[in-house]
Amino acid sequence: MYPTREEVDSYLAKMRKRGERTLSLLGQYNDFVTAVNTPIGRELLADLVREHEGLLDKISGLGATDEDKMQYQVVRRLLLAWSSKIAAFENKVQEIKRAV
């Protein structure tokens, strides 16, 4: 999953400043992606997805309360933020691997 030290060195030699920004982003999201890939992280993500599905069913069935709608908005924002971080991390890892 992660690039090797040699891949990172090669990428930095080719990309210079842009490469430094890429590594900075990887560093920012590394702890998050590592946490999500633990058994507890996967369980938390699965719980969030199940909560999203349940609230979406209530909303689409027109049986949602105002509280359900507010909870849905929070859960949706969390899912979007989490998936955005994971995708950005994976994209940068692949960018490094493609550049080598």
pLDDT of 18-33, one tens digit each? 899 999 999 999 999 9
What CA–CA distance (Å, rounded) separates 94 from 50? Answer: 29
What tens digit of pLDDT does each residue of 61-100 get? Answer: 999 999 999 999 999 999 999 999 999 999 999 999 888 7
Domain residues for 15? 5-99
Contact partners, residue 93, CB within 8 Å, separation at least 6? 1, 2, 3, 26
| Stated pTM of the model | 0.81
What CA–CA distance (Å, rounded) separates 55 from 69? Answer: 8
Question: In 3-state terms, what secondary structure has residue 61?
Answer: coil
Residue type, 66: D
What CA–CA distance (Å, rounded) separates 48 from 51? Answer: 5
The structural domain count of the chain equals 1
CB 36 within 8 A of CB 82: yes
